[in-house]
Structure 1
Amino acid sequence: MSETISRPFTFVKDGIFYFSRRIPKELRCHYTSSRIAFSLRTRSAKIAETRARKAADQLDEYWYHLRSLATELPGKHMLRQERVVGSGTNVQPADVSPSSVLLSEAVGIYLQLKGKGRPETFHRAAERACGYVIDTCGDKHLGAYTKADANAFRDALIARGLAGTSITRVFGTVRSVTNFAASEQGLSLNNPFAGVYYDRTAGVSDRISVPTDALAKVQHECRVIDDDLRWLVSLVSDTGMRLAEAAGLTKEDIIREADGSLFARVRPHPWRRLKTKGSERDVPLEGEARWAAERILAQENSSTFAFPRYNKTDTTNANAASAALNKWMKEYVPEGCTMHGFRHAMRDRLRAAECPADIVDQIGGWQTDGIGHVRCP
């Protein structure tokens, strides 16, 4: 049988097999989509069939569990009502406020009110973080979670192999969701997910700055190849911009002044938000960054974007840019160097040139207290 023929629960895209299965209507309330789809990471039909069948079996078992929770509990009329209110896993202890909500409901409140106009990543982060809590401790009322639950949650995250910084982000999201929902419901909550101890440095590696000789090699190759991907590399390499900041630029964001100098106006767009308020700034375009900007402006196409290939949807696809460019750079930079290393290298270069610290911060958008649009002279 041909390797490209789709097997049960699979489809093929660019030669890669993907799993796909529609979620039963009665269970869609538990999901954010009507279908589950993900890459099986193989081009082999035989391997894809095995992996798809395993995933389908896991879903069948879990869906049976969900359906069981929805059934009437035998002997429910015999339960002591003063001790338990409700049934199934979503049991509400008698000492929990009637206005309390389940964590799954808290996520809905949080995203409905705070998620408006926020990117999809914001929604996914809240759903994923609280999903971890529910997987570990169950979907409880906010006031029913204990410090023991929070510690068990921490241990589960560590067991997943998350670095200290990732655990910090997950806990921060859970605290935000629970505190916000509690405030909206008028609950007095002593948040058990606050003050949980773990090693915040575990699994964290220092970012590697791109060395000067490697920087020269990469920039030389960019001139030789001379395409939009290499323009993006050159732009980042001599500005220190975050990759998403550069990939989300429009041609109008590249501004030519009366004296012929160029600068990039980094500002928030509907398709690309900025990391902090201090990230909004003007960045001078010199060296290879100026060459890249001139090549971008010289292009005769109808797109308003500097890099159309990464702005085909309503969100700048910086992840795709990062994957492609990091892979290309491996041949020219030391092991561990990535596109983000240009940002660290720019800070080192500005310091070596004795550029004032406040100007260094403004060029890179490192200052978080708010900055004016100042360009290094």
Structure 2
Amino acid sequence: MTEPTVVIAGAGLAGASVATELREHGFGGRILLLGMEEHRPYIRPPLSKEFLKGDAPLEGAAVHPDDWYAENAVEFVPGVEAGSFEADAHELFITEDGGRITYDSLVIATGARARPLGVPGSGHGAVFPLRTQEDSVRLRDALKVGGRRVVVIGSGWIGMEVAAAARGYGNEVTVVGHSAVPLSGAIGRELGGVFERLHRDNGVEFRNDAVVVGVDGGTQQYVVLATGERIPADVVVAGVGASPNSLVAERSGVAVADGVLTDKGMRTSIEDVYAVGDVANPFLPAIGRHLRSEHWANAIASGKVAAHAILGERASYDDIPYFYSDQYDLGMEYSGYVPLTVGARVVFRGDVEAREFIAFWLRNDRVVAGMNVNVWDVQDDIQRLIRSAERVDADQLADQDLDLAAL
């Protein structure tokens, strides 16, 4: 009997996690890992954190050592873009040469694409995206010169991390965001303000509630706002988010809505086809709805779930979304369901002004998310409270004299 073939379209962390989990759990068939980039799978957080700041080498971002793929019979094929697939024939079509690959199981792990600025002048050489290793190397080279005027467009996590890295190299930094407060879409205005004050204390300027209408080039670059203000810039960073790269699914008739829709086992609407990582929008039983996440922990968790589903085992996405950020002397971890935090009550434990605290989001007296800032070894307790879905006393949550593990 011929061994089954699993084709993974996308060689990021999510795709690599599928391959790893399959091999570690006894899958003996063929695994093809197709990557658009020439690099073997790597994780993206260091691109805006440790590597960008100069604290770690790029090699540390690799998911596995280079020889792991041959040792585990995972066929890594670089520079390949999947175009579409034929479900009945179980064939994946390659865009470059029109070739086709037959599969028994197909995993869509095509990730996300950086959103373009989409304004006049955004293609200027002074405008830097940040998605790939090459992007991060190019941006770091520009920042480490120091003494430059850096304008970061976008006040989400990537934008704020880039701003911190740029200040670390001694650059002047202005962050331009469309929201009234940075990070408000992720953690709300009150906590977004904590991060804004952190950056202001470190010399960053902000233009909030701002709309960028262009980037003027020539010998001197300016970021042009709708108000008419022209912000001089030597380096412009486009940190305006990412969009799921779901073209393969769309061309092939897979159900798509803010990414590729999947069930709790990462199965798409087409049999034997799965989706994982940034491109997937899985159903999460814990909250009874679909939720797409672009963080590295999701790439690992969804890849593992898909692998077990391919192996014919019961598989369910039960991990709580998690991410972290490091900016200046502030480190944070966040676990929880962002959509459930909208309108939720925020309860603080610790000293917010000193930036040493835990924030809990309560909906109907149940913890739906938690963020620890410069407080460590509490994630297990935070996730336990979220997972239990039990009512908690807000005063007890806030009381530092009470052991969090006992709540």
TM-score normalized by structure 2? Answer: 0.27
Could you say which structure has the greater relative contact order, defined with CA pairs below 8 angstroms and 6 or more residues apart?
2
TM-score normalized by structure 1? Answer: 0.28
Higher helix share: 1
